[in-house]
Chain A
Amino acid sequence: MNDTELDKLLNTWSMPPVPASLRADVRVGFHARPERRKFPVVRVLIAAVSIGVFLLAVTLALPQTLSLVSPPVRPPYIVDSDVVRYANDGTSSVEVHVVSYNNNGSEIVLYEVAPSFLTAIRVGLEAAGSVVGRLTLPFVVSPEQLRSLRSTALVTAGFEHYRLGSAAALLNTGCVIGTVVDRETILAYPTVAVRQFDGGRRTTLWMAPDLGCFALRITTEERRPDGTFRLVRKKQAAKVTLTPGKTAVMSRRKPG
C-alpha cells in the first residue's frame, strides 16, 4: 500500500456532525462562570492571617531581641507625633502616629499606629525588617562599620529616615549641624531649625537641645519646576511626656 492509497482509506472515516447543543452549552457555561475577583478572597485572607501571626511573633520577640543587642533603656521621655502627607491637590492625611524618644542622638520608635489597613501592613513589615536588621547587622558588616552606624544620628518621619551624621557632633553642637533657618519654641521646648538639601528635596528639622536633639517637627518639601517648594510630608510632635524620676537628656553644647 502506498501513501496515496493510505490517505484515501483514512479519508473514508467521516465525522459525525457537531452536536447543535454544544454552542448553547458553552454559552450557558460562559454566563455561569465565577466572577473574577480583583483580589481573590481566600488568598487575601491567608495573607492577612500570615501577616498577623508573623507580626504577633515579632511583637512577642521584640523586647527580648532588643535586650539581646543593646542594654535595656528606660526612656527619659516619650514624644507623640503625627506624620501627615500632603497630596498634589493640597489635601492632607495622617500617614502614621509615632511614639518615640531619642537615645544618644538617634530616634528610637517605640510603636507606630497606622490609620489604614495598608499602612498598618507597611508599618508591621518595617518593624519586622528593623528587628531582622538589628539581629543580622553584626554578621554582615565589619565591627568598624557597625560602630560607625551606631554612632550615626538618625531621625524618622513615618516611612522616611534621615541620617544626620555623627551623633556625638550633633549633641556637642547643640543640634546645629547645618544652616540655622529658624528658632521656635515647640511644646515649651526651644528648638533650632536646620535645613538639609537632597536632590530636589529639602528637609527642615526643628530639634530640641533639651530633648537630646529630638526633632519635634520635620518638614519635607519637593522642588517645583518653577523653583518654589511644595510641602509633601510633615512630622509634628503633639505631646511630650517626661518619665517620672528621669530628667531629659540634654545635648552637651560645648562652652563658648
Chain B
Amino acid sequence: MDLVKAARKGEEAAFLQLFDEHHVPLFRFAYRLTGSVADAEDIVQECFLSLLRPECTYDPKRTPVRTYLFGIVRNQSLKRLRKSDFGVDATPARSPESEILRNEMEDTVARAVMELPDIQREVLVLAHYEQMPLAEIAQVLGLELGAVKSRLQRARASLKEMLAAYAPGLERKR
C-alpha cells in the first residue's frame, strides 16, 4: 500500500517509514539552502506534516514522493530566506588544531555557496550534494531541463571565481 495513503489514514508506522527513508537528504537540502540547522529542522518537520493535511495536493500518479518532498522543502526554504537575512550557522568546532585550516576552508566554501543567487544555489545543491539527476531537478523546481543546465553552469562558474584562491594549482603558484 502507498505509504502516504496509509499515513493519511492514521498509520504511524507508514508515516515513520516515510520519514526514515527521506528525512536525511531533505534536511541536508534545507540546511544548504538556509544555512541554519534550526530552520532546516523546522522545514523538514513542516514538510512531512503537510503531507497529512486535507488540502495537500500530492498525487502519487503524477510525482514520486521524493520529488514532491524536495519541492516542499525548496518552497519553504525560499520563503524563510525571503523573510530573513541568511547566515551560515557556526560549524561545530573540531577539537584538533590540525582541523583549523580545514574549518576555515569549509566556512569559506559554505559562504560562497550561500552567496550564490537562490535560483543557482538550489540547482547546485541538488546536483552536487544530493547527486540528483538533472531531469528530476527540473521536476522539483518546475523548470525546463535546459534552464537547469544553464543555472548549474553559471553556479559552478561563479564558485570557481569565488574560490579561486583555494585552488591547489593557484596555491602552488603563490
Instruction: Give me the interface of A with B, judged by CB distance under 8 Å.
Output: 1, 3, 5-7, 9-10, 12-16, 18-19, 21-23, 25-27, 29-31, 33, 36-37, 40
Contacts and interface: CB of A to CB of B under 8 A. Distances in A.
Contacts of B89: 16
Contacts, number: 85
Contact of B49 (A3, A23, A29): A29
Contact of B105 (A7, A9, A16, A40): A9
Contact of A1 (B41, B53, B164): B164
Given A22-B44, A26-B48, A29-B49, A16 B166 contact: no
Contacts of A27: 12, 16
A5 B20 CA distance: 33
A1 B89 CA distance: 27
Given A6-B163, A30-B52, A12 B109 contact: yes
Instruction: Describe A's contact surface by its main secondary structure.
Output: helix
Interface stretch (B24-32, B66-74, B133-141): B24-32
A12 B109 CA distance: 7
Contacts of A3: 156
Interface string B101-131: 0100110011001000000000000001100
A18 B38 CA distance: 10
A93 to B, nearest CB: 33
B169 A1 contact: yes
Contacts of A10: 109, 113, 128-129, 159
B128 A7 contact: yes
Contacts of B44: 22, 26
A15 B48 contact: no
Contacts of B53: 33
Contact of B41 (A12, A15, A22, A40): A22
Contacts of A25: 41, 45
Instruction: Describe B's contact surface by its main secondary structure.
Output: helix
Of the four ranges (under 10, 10 to 19, 20 to 34, 35 or more), the interface on chain B belongs to: 35 or more
B92 interface: yes
Contacts of B164: 1
A26 B7 CA distance: 13
Interface in B66-105: 89, 91-92, 102, 105
B149 interface: no
Contacts of A30: 7, 12, 15, 49, 52
A231 B128 CA distance: 72
B169 A5 contact: yes
B142 interface: no
6 contacts: A5-B167, A16-B31, A19-B37, A26-B19, A30-B7, A36-B54
Interface string B143-174: 00000000000001001100110111110000
B167 A22 contact: no
A6 B106 contact: no
A194 B52 CA distance: 59
Nearest to A25: B45
A23 B110 CA distance: 26
